[in-house]
C-alpha cells in the first residue's frame, strides 16, 4: 500500500470511529427552564404600550433597575426602603440626572453618547412622577 493509500485508510477509519461515537452519545440536554419565582427580564416586549420616559427607562435602565437587576439588589442590600426605582415616590428629576451622569455607588456614569440629554430628562421626569404601577 502506498503512503497516500495508508493515509486515506487511516482517515476513513477515524471518520468511522467518530460516527460510531456520535451515535452512542446521549442527546444534547435542552436548556434548563427558569427557576420558579425567578423574575424575568423587563423588555419592550413585556411593556409594548410604554412610551416616552417609560420606554426609555425600559430600554436603558431596566436591565439593572427592575426586580432581577444588579442595581436593585445593591440598593436593597444598602438598606433602601424601596429599591425598585419605578415604585419610589421620592426621586427628584435633578437627582436622577446627577446620579446617572456622574455615577453613584457601583453604578457607572452614563455618558451623553449613550443617552442624550433629552432622553435622560425624559427618564428622570418619568421616575420623578412615580410611583408607577408596574407588573413584576
Q: Within 13 Å, how many C-alpha atoms sit on residue 124's CB side? A: 17
Whether 102 is covered by a domain: the verdict is yes
Whether 113 is covered by a domain: the verdict is yes
| Integer CA distances (angstroms), 91 to 5, 78, 88, 126, in order | 78, 17, 7, 10
- Residue burial 62-97, b: 16+ Cβ < 10 Å; e: rest: bebbbbebebbeebeeeeeebbbbbebeebebeebb
Whether 93 is covered by a domain: the verdict is yes
Whether 14 is covered by a domain: the verdict is no
* C-alpha cell belonging to residue 118: 433629552
CATH number (domain holding residue 102): 1.10.760.10
Annotate 32-57 with three-state secondary structure. CCCCCCCCCCCCCCCCCCCCHHHHHH
Whether 8 is covered by a domain: the verdict is no
Q: pTM for this one?
A: 0.69
Whether 9 is covered by a domain: the verdict is no
Whether 134 is covered by a domain: the verdict is no
Written as tens digits, the pLDDT of the chain (136 aa) is 555 555 444 444 544 544 445 455 455 567 676 667 777 778 888 899 999 999 999 999 999 999 888 999 999 999 988 999 999 999 999 999 999 999 999 999 999 999 999 999 999 999 999 999 886 6
In terms of residue numbers, what domain contains 72?
A: 52-128
Query: Number of structural domains, the chain?
Result: 1
> How far is 66 from 77, CA to CA, in rounded Å?
15
Kind plus residue range of the DSSP H or E element containing 122: helix 117-128
The pLDDT, as a whole number, for residue 116 is 98
Whether 121 is covered by a domain: the verdict is yes
Amino acid at each position: 500500500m502506498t503512503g497516500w493509500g495508508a493515509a486515506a485508510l487511516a482517515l476513513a477509519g477515524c471518520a468511522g470511529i467518530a460516527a460510531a461515537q456520535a451515535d452512542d452519545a446521549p442527546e444534547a440536554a435542552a436548556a434548563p427552564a427558569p427557576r420558579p419565582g425567578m423574575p424575568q427580564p423587563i423588555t419592550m416586549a413585556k411593556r409594548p404600550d410604554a412610551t416616552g420616559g417609560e420606554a426609555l427607562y425600559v430600554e436603558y435602565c431596566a436591565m439593572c433597575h427592575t426586580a432581577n437587576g444588579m442595581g436593585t439588589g445593591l440598593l436593597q442590600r444598602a438598606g433602601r426602603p424601596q429599591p425598585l426605582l419605578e415604585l419610589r415616590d421620592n426621586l427628584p428629576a435633578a437627582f436622577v440626572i446627577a446620579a446617572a451622569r456622574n455615577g453613584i455607588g457601583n453604578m457607572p456614569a452614563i455618558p451623553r453618547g449613550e443617552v442624550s440629554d433629552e432622553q435622560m430628562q425624559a427618564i428622570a421626569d418619568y421616575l420623578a412622577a412615580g410611583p408607577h404601577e408596574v407588573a413584576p
